Amino acid sequence: MGMANLHAWLDTGSPAAEDDAVAWLFRVRYPEMVRLADLLGADDPEDIAQEAFARLIRRRDSLRNPDAALAYVRASVCNLTRNRHRHLRVVRRRTPAATPEESSEQAAILREDHREVLDALAGLPPRRREAIVLRYWLDLSEREIAAAMGVSPGTVKSNVSRGLAVLAAVLGEKS
């Protein structure tokens, strides 16, 4: 069972417990957040995930509802990655050679058909890519995806279906 399907809580009755709760959430969810940033195309996924958790630590009082804390971190990862893309677009315009590329090791490891899918995914607009990754990797509900992306569930639905349609077209399949 994936971590995304877990419901996890902590009692957070004291400041010390809140500290523990953040540390616990970090321990359980940090790899997932790194991977989320990676799948969203961040050039430095760990930096994104650490910044997201650092922001949570600064607001750890809001961990009264740990589910909200996880949603906060997830949304931060999405926002920060989007920010980073914007920054990179500017950098690339100025220095074309700075385009980040997948390492040769990763390139060798990925199966060819998976690479094809991921290349097609990378070609989607950021919002559609986010919706697809949150839906098909983290298995989030439309409501949870909406919270992570800061959009309505209806927007999530249209982003997912349009994204799938584009992927199907690119991959030469029916969605």
Residues 104-123 that bind other proteins (CB under 8 A): 106, 109-111, 113-115, 117-118, 121
| Chain Cα centroid distance, residue 142 | 15
Give me the residue label for tokens 């992306």. 149
Binding-site size for other proteins (CB under 8 A) equals 76
Q: Which of 84, 82, 28, 35 is nearest to 56 (CA)?
A: 28
For residue 135, give both structure tokens.
């839906």
Of 44, 48, 50, 145, the one binding other proteins by CB under 8 A: 50
Of 43, 44, 55, 100, the one binding other proteins by CB under 8 A: 55
Work out which of 136, 142, 157, 162 binds other proteins, going by CB under 8 A. 136
Question: For residues 148 and 142, what is the distance between their CA atoms, to the nearest angstrom?
Answer: 10
The Cα 62–Cα 29 span in angstroms is 17
Site membership for other proteins, residue 137 (CB under 8 A): yes
User: Both tokens of residue 102?
Assistant: 């997948």
Contact flag: residue 175 with other proteins (CB under 8 A): yes
Q: Binding of other proteins at residue 59 (CB under 8 A)? A: yes
CB of 47 to other proteins, least distance (A): 9
Quick check: 8 binds other proteins (CB under 8 A)?
A: yes
When the beta carbons of 98 and 150 are compared against other proteins, the nearer one is 150
Structural tokens at position 96: 């074309």
Mark residue 118 as left, alpha or beta (left: phi above 0; alpha: psi -120 to 50; beta: remaining): alpha
Q: Which residues of 9-20 are buried (b: 16+ CB within 10 A; e: fewer)?
A: ebebeeeeebee
Verify binding: residue 32, other proteins, rule CB under 8 A: yes
* Nearer of residues 46 and 91 to other proteins, judged by Cβ: 46
Nearest to 59 by CA among 43, 76, 46: 76
Write each residue from 86 to 105 as x if it is in contact with other proteins (CB under 8 A), else as -, in one continuous string.
x-------------------
Give least dist CB 65 to other proteins, A.
5
